[in-house]
A and B are shown apart, each in its own frame.
Chain A
Amino acid sequence: MKELGRILALWRGRAVWLAAGLMISLIALGAGVGLMDVAGRTIGLAVAFGVLAAPLALRALGVTRVVGRYLERLVTHEATFRALADLRVWFFRGLAGSAAGGLGFRQAGDVLARLVGDVEALDGLYLRILVPLAGAVLLLPGLILLLWGVGADAALSVGLLFVLAAFVLPALSARGAAAAGGRLATASAGLRIAALDAFTGLREVRAFSAEGRMLAAVQAREANLLAAQHDLARRTALAAALALLCAQAAILVALLAAGAHPAIAVGAVFLVFAGFEAANALPRAGALAGHAAAAARRVLDAAEAPPPVIDPAAPAQVPEDTTLRFDGVHFRWRPDHPAVFDGLSLEIPPASRVALLGPSGAGKSTLAALALKLAAPQQGRVLLGGTDLARLPASAVRQRIGWLGQTTHLFDDTIRHNLLLARPDADDPALWAALEAAQIASVVRDLPDGLDTWVGEGGTRFSGGQGRRLALARALLSPAPILILDEPCAGLDAETERAFLSTLNEAAEGRTIIMIAHRLVGVERLDRIWRLSAGHAVAAAS
């Protein structure tokens, strides 16, 4: 339940809304219970003493009850949705901090399940757990106080039963449901992952006639979900039945005590009736708490994953100079993996054109990861303008170094918005210049919607080569003084490749270009070429 506390702490910003909702709900609850109490009392007093008690109070309570309930619903829901929206934003920010290098072994479906499903499961935390719990805390002394007139024994017995129904049973059912709640959160994420897998791989599924298998996989995950829901529902049903028994026992206690002061007892019975009605939902909320805690844990885990490289506590001044230097770098991705670099040293002066060549697995992309602070060397240093990257914040480094990766993502948006990601203030001529340099301008110009053409999920409305060139245009648009292009020509036909490489120099005047490639075509104008092999860089030509 620690996790739920952490989530509540994150909702501090909405404290006013949450508190207002709580207050209104307490007023509405008081009016509702009071209404029943006064209604019963009216009859009791009329019979016993021949007086008509408080018809005005009845009307006032009735109105307060109706208006209060409506406002309560509005305000508590508004508060919840505001808090959940905040939580999603906080989650995304946390994810961005830890996933600069991509999701890695995390699955997009799982992250989505946390962002959507698990955050949604937390809506009950305030609405169905905290608000009724606060009501119960208020009701307990009220019940005992009002019943004291009937008899101390009766008042205490009813109080005890109320504690049982409102606090003990919920706590027990929360503990009992903790495991089932965890299973429910995992199972519902599993269903989302399986469904997303089937849709993401829809082409593979069709090509390999895997429809039946995919359906079976989704059904298996669904069966897990239904089993977890069934388990939870079993506990909820039991808790609800037990809570009802507590309420009935309390009414029985009030009835047994009625002989002594029947006039007050009539009101008391009505009071008990209404009071337990309000506490009735709590055991159910207890079962819900198990699920909410599991969901909270999943949300926190994903949002608070550590960044790949921790930023320095006291960052150094970002240097103006853009010399990029690798100085005796040793690096391996994981301790049990072979070393990628074993004393790599090279220096890339400002505004130079260099190429890094090497076969698959020589560490070309790792070099980019080190420069972008997606990884840190185990030994040696990477320096930007003479300052160790370890002393610079990652965001500042990434402002200076632009990057086109092998798997750069095209967003399901327009061409314009995909390009503007690299430079939000770019004007149309700048966008066209970048498209021109990436050899895709003529294709875009022929589109009826031009820059406002939708690219589709992952750029699927364009062919592989065209999508690649759009990503390339975006990288060229970036204002960073150093550009790392990882296989910029992959998927381009020979003609386009030559055209791109021969115009690259004009396109990026005054900037450092680091090209990572398997091979050279021969039209590149380069200042230096390194060949990566066996963890070192060998100068090939200059």
Chain B
Amino acid sequence: MLLGLAGTAVAVGQAFCIAAALATALATHRADLAALVGFGLLALLRAGLVWASERTAVAAGAASRRRLRSDVLGRLLHAGPTALRQRHSGDLTAIVVDRIEALDGLYARWIPASTLAMAGPLLVLAAALWADPVAALVLGLCGFMVPVAMAVAGIGAAAASRRQFLALARLQARFLDRVRGIATIVLYGRAEDETAALAVAANELRQRTMRVLRVAFLSSAALDLAAALALVLLAIRYGLAILAHRLADPQTALSALLLVPEFFAPLRAFALAYQDRLHATGAADAMLDLPPMPEPAPPREVRTVAARGVTVAFEDVRLTWDPARGPALDGLSFRVPADETLILAGPSGAGKSSVIEILLGFVRPDSGRVTINGADISELVPAALSRLTAWIGQRPVLFASTIRDNIRFARPEATDAEVEEAAHAAQVTEFAGLLPAGLDTMVGEGGFGLSGGQAQRVAIARAFLRNAPLLLLDEPTAHLDPATEADVLDSLRRLAIGRTVILASHSAAAHDFSGRRLDLRQGRAVAAAARATA
């Protein structure tokens, strides 16, 4: 702001220097050395100011973006998997990446430009007043047009900009979805159709963007009009005045004309930044829908639970994901004593996964109580809960990295020996041994390079490494052939010793897992048969 104002002041000084030099030349056909030297010195100063103000603008934008991005990402991570139930991961990524980048304009340009937009023109106006009050009046009147036009244009533009942001995020989610499923599209021979559909979506975004810009450009046009009007009016006024010999010294005329661009320069920056601001408002509005900041830890001391001996109990638990589809859990009650195994059986959609998601803290039950060693699960902070649990899901997410790093994800501080032990226990070493780089073989996103069974075994290795007292297994052997399944179940049985286990599975082999069996149908226990087949 101060740098900008100083820049304007220097520019005003230069305008007077040029005017003086030209006036001297007109009058005496000689160069006005003092004015020229003054001009040169001011030029150096001005270049320095341009350099400095560009740099401060970037620094200001960077700091605010860093703060905001941590805040938004923290909120989304805190909300956890529930955030994904309403929104596509591509949409969330667009918020964290693009929308926050869009806010840069707000901090780097809008805030400095909006403060300078008043002070800068006022400074020039004061200079013009001193040179020629009529010129100041013309400038002032033309300048006044600008904010009025901008306000009128801005009302429509803000709404259009919000809608445009929504379209942009949707398009990104769509891109991501199609990119992930590209193989499916190509193998069904639908690449051309999808490309055409994408073209339609891309065109729609263009139309939305242009709708925003058409209005935004109107405010720029108003500015151009004001600047041209001021220049033409002043040129004609001075031309006539000189002809009528009402103005003896052309210096006044020249400096007033040269002040016109300087007067409008801050306003021009303001108009440009105004577009940034519209953009930023659209981006910021989208963030209002985000989950709130994590609350500070509950006032009550979080119950600590022993590392061994975890008892889990469900008491009349009800959960509905989507009212239209009926309850997923409908008054479910059961109790798993410490170090025992519960097998959840039943067809897919019976509620097995919902039980596990509640225990993982991904979702809270609508009613009823879920307790771990007597402590209500809702009183445990997520970190405390996750320390207690190891989990193997139906669709383990593998990251693009080495097999070793993917296993280590479960416990980053684990030593290499511990990772290798876990890999061995989960029979990862068996297939990794055949790969050129062993455990350091790179896998692609989603486990590319590994078969479904191999990816599952990496997930099992994670659970081994996690070494937590409560083991949650959601169809851990769904993609394994019988021989591998038997081996993995063997490892899991070993892992289960001295831990509480909840296993959701419909595989017949898994039911050889020693433990109590609970049959689920439509979110209810139908028959609990105690089986002890140790």
B-contact 0/1 string along A180-211, CB 8 Å cutoff: 00000000100110011111111111111111
Query: Is B58's CB within 8 Å of the partner chain A?
Result: yes
Chain B, interface residues (CB within 8 Å), range: 35 or more
Q: Do B180 and A409 have beta carbons less than 8 Å apart? A: yes
**Known pairs A262-B29, A457-B88; A255 contacts B39 (CB<8 A):** yes
How near does chain B come to A68, taking the closest CB pair, in angstroms? 9
A244 and B50 in contact, given A198-B73, A229-B58, A277-B261 (Cβ under 8 angstroms): yes
Q: A58-B236, A200-B397 are in contact. Are A43 and B193 (CB under 8 A)?
A: no
Question: Does chain A have a CB within 8 A of B493?
Answer: no
The reply to whether A463 and B73 form a contact with Cβ atoms under 8 Å apart is no
Chain A stretch 348-372: residues in CB contact (< 8 A) with chain B: 359-361, 365, 372
Shortest distance in angstroms between B382's beta carbon and chain A's nearest beta carbon?
A: 7
**Residue contact B235 to A447, C-beta cutoff 8 Å:** no
In the complex, how many angstroms separate the beta carbon of A317 from the nearest chain B beta carbon?
18
Whether, in the assembled complex, A93 has its beta carbon less than 8 Å from a beta carbon of chain B, the answer is yes
CB B309 to nearest CB in A, in angstroms, measures 21
Contact B478 A69 (CB under 8 A): no
User: By the criterion CB–CB under 8 Å, are B77 and A215 in contact?
Assistant: yes
Task: For the complex, give the distance between the alpha carbons of A329 and B222 in Å.
Answer: 73
Please name 5 further chain A to chain B contacts, defined as beta carbons within 8 Å, in addition to the given A100-B182, A219-B70, sorted by A numbering: A198-B77, A359-B481, A361-B431, A411-B177, A466-B348
Provide the residues of chain B in CB contact with A487, threshold 8 Å: 452, 479
Interface of A is mostly: helix
17 sample A-B contacts, Cβ–Cβ < 8 Å, listed by A number: A74-B214, A78-B210, A81-B206, A99-B183, A105-B400, A117-B97, A195-B97, A230-B59, A241-B50, A265-B22, A421-B185, A422-B188, A443-B349, A457-B177, A491-B348, A491-B479, A494-B508
Interface mask (B193-228 → A, CB under 8 Å = 1, otherwise 0): 111001100110110011001100110110011001
Q: Which of B133-141, B168-176, B415-423, B495-503 forms contacts with chain A?
A: B168-176
B396 at the interface (CB under 8 A from A): yes
Q: What mask results when residues 373 to 415 of chain B are scored 1 for a CB within 8 Å of chain A, else 0?
A: 0000000001100110111011111011000000001111000
Tell me whether B30 is interfacial, beta carbon within 8 Å: yes
A192 to B446, Cβ gap below 8 A? no
Q: Is the CB of A244 within 8 A of B257?
A: no
A126: Cβ under 8 A from any B Cβ: no
Q: Which residues of B contact A465 (CB under 8 A)?
A: 347-349, 506
Cross-chain contact of B479 among A116, A209, A409, A490 (Cβ < 8 A)? A490
Binary contact track B224-259/A, C-beta < 8 Å → 1, others 0 = 110011011011101110110000001001100110
Which residue of A53, A421, A478 has the most chain B CB atoms within 10 A of its CB atom? Answer: A421
State the Cβ distance, B296 to closest chain A Cβ, in Å.
Answer: 16
Cα of A196 to Cα of B73 in the assembled complex, Å: 11
Residues of A with C-beta under 8 A to B506:
465, 492-494
A493–B31 Cα distance when bound, in Å, is 97
B361 to nearest A CB, angstroms? 7
**Which of B176, B190, B397 has the most chain A CB within a 10 Å cutoff?**
B176
Chain B proximity of A367: nearest CB distance (Å): 13
B40 pairs with A252, CB closer than 8 A: yes
Chain A neighbourhood of B462, CB < 8 A: 208
**Contact in complex: A233, B360 (CB < 8 Å):** no
* Complex: A154 Cα to B58 Cα, angstroms: 38
Compute how far the CA of A405 lies from the CA of B181 in the bound complex, rounded to whole angstroms: 12
Give 5 closest A-B pairs by Cβ, nearest first: A465-B348, A518-B481, A409-B181, A493-B506, A248-B43
- The answer to whether B84 and A238 touch across the interface, beta carbons within 8 angstroms, is no
User: Given A199-B92, A209-B387: A495 and B347 within 8 A (CB)?
Assistant: yes
**List of B residues within 8 angstroms of A69 by Cβ:** 220-221, 224
A361 to B451, CA, bound (A): 7
Q: Which residue of A lies closest to B390 (CB)?
A: A207
Given A202-B84, A213-B412, A252-B40, the answer on whether A218 and B73 have CB atoms closer than 8 Å is yes
Contacts of B78 in A (CB 8 A): 211
Bound state CA distance, A164 and B448, in angstroms?
A: 52
What are the residues of chain A within 8 A of B466 when measuring CB–CB? 208
The reply to whether B18 and A251 contact each other, CB–CB distance below 8 Å, is: yes
List B residues 439-453 near A (Cβ within 8 Å): 442, 444-446, 448-449, 451-453
Residue pair A491, B475 in contact (C-beta under 8 Å) = yes
A67 nearest CB across to chain B (Å) = 8
- Give residues of chain A (89-107) contacting chain B, Cβ–Cβ below 8 Å: 89, 92-93, 95-97, 99-107
Minimum CB–CB distance from B198 to chain A (whole Å) comes to 5
A449 interfacial contact with B, CB 8 Å: yes
Given the complex of chains A and B, what is the CA–CA distance between A59 and B225 in angstroms?
11
Interface residues on A, range: 35 or more
> Is there an interface contact between A108 and B176, defined as CB atoms closer than 8 Å?
yes
Q: Is the CB of B480 within 8 A of A360?
A: yes
Q: Does A341 contact B (CB under 8 A)?
A: no
Give CA–CA (A403, B190) in the complex, Å.
13
Closest to B352 in A: A463
* Chain B neighbourhood of A372, CB < 8 A: 187
**In the complex, which residue of chain A has the Cβ closest to the Cβ of B410?**
A208
Given the known interface contacts A111-B179, A195-B73, A202-B84, the answer about A518 and B482 at a Cβ–Cβ threshold of 8 Å is: yes
A103 x B452 contact (CB < 8 A): no
Q: In the complex, are the beta carbons of A35 and B43 less than 8 A apart? A: no
Measured in the bound complex, the distance between the Cα atoms of B353 and A107 in whole Å is 28
Would you call A55 an interface residue if the criterion is a C-beta within 8 Å of the partner chain's C-beta atoms? Answer: yes
Quick check: B88 and A103 within 8 Å, CB to CB? no
Specify which of B174, B180, B205, B475 is in contact with A464 (CB 8 Å cutoff).
Answer: B475
Contact B51 A240 (CB under 8 A): yes
Chain A residues with CB under 8 Å of B18's CB are 251, 255, 269
- Check A447/B325 contact, CB under 8 A, given A103-B444, A199-B76: yes
Q: Evaluate contact between B225 and A66: CB separation under 8 angstroms.
A: yes
Distance in angstroms between the alpha carbons of A40 and B383 in the assembled complex: 72
Evaluate contact between A93 and B195: CB separation under 8 angstroms.
yes
Query: Are the CB atoms of B73 and A215 closer together than 8 Å?
Result: yes
Are B97 and A238 in touch, CB under 8 angstroms?
Answer: no
CB under 8 Å from chain A, chain B span 329-385: 346-349, 353, 360-362, 382-383
Residue contact B382 to A42, C-beta cutoff 8 Å: no
A82 CB within 8 Å of chain B: yes
The reply to whether B62 and A449 form a contact with Cβ atoms under 8 Å apart is no
**A214-B445 Cα distance, complex, nearest whole Å:** 16
* B66 & A222 in contact (Cβ 8 Å cutoff): yes
Q: How far is the CB of A500 from chain B (nearest CB, A)?
A: 13
A209 touches B382 (CB 8 A): yes
Contacts of A457 in B (CB 8 A): 84, 88-89, 177
- A519 pairs with B482, CB closer than 8 A: yes
What is the CA–CA distance of A408 and B214 in the complex, to the nearest angstrom?
Answer: 43
Cβ-based interface call for B9 (8 A): no
Nearest-neighbour CB distance to chain A for B123, whole angstroms, equals 19
Interchain CB contact under 8 A, B481 and A100: no
Q: How far apart sit A495 and B507, CA to CA, in the bound complex (Å)?
A: 10
Question: Is A502 an interface residue when CB atoms closer than 8 A count as contact?
Answer: no
Closest residue of B by beta carbon distance from A221: B97
Which residues of the other chain, B, contact A451 by a CB distance below 8 angstroms?
none
In the complex, what residues of B have CB within 8 A of residue A277's CB? 261
Query: Which chain B residues lie closer than 8 Å to A55 at the CB level?
Result: 236, 239
The reply to whether A458 and B220 contact each other, CB–CB distance below 8 Å, is no
Is B156's beta carbon under 8 Å from chain A? no
CA–CA, A97 to B185, complex, Å? 11
Contact partners of A62 in chain B: CB under 8 A: 228-229, 231-232
B284 in the interface, Cβ–Cβ < 8 Å? no
Asked if A258 lies at the interface with its beta carbon under 8 angstroms from chain B, I say: yes
- Known contacts A248-B47, A407-B452, A196 near B198 by CB under 8 Å: no
Q: A446–B205 Cα gap in the complex (Å)?
A: 36
Distance in angstroms between the alpha carbons of A108 and B336 in the assembled complex: 41
1/0 per position for B452-479, CB-CB distance to A under 8 A?
Answer: 1110000000100010000000010011
Instruction: Give the CA-CA distance A230 to B66 in the complex, in Å.
Output: 13
Do the beta carbons of A207 and B389 come within 8 Å of each other? yes
- B386 — which chain A residues lie within 8 A by C-beta? 206-209
Chain A, residues 69-86, CB within 8 Å of chain B (1/0): the string is 110011001100110110
Q: Is the CB of A398 within 8 A of B236?
A: no
Whether B299 is near chain A, meaning CB under 8 Å from some CB there, is no
Contact A70 B347 (CB under 8 A): no
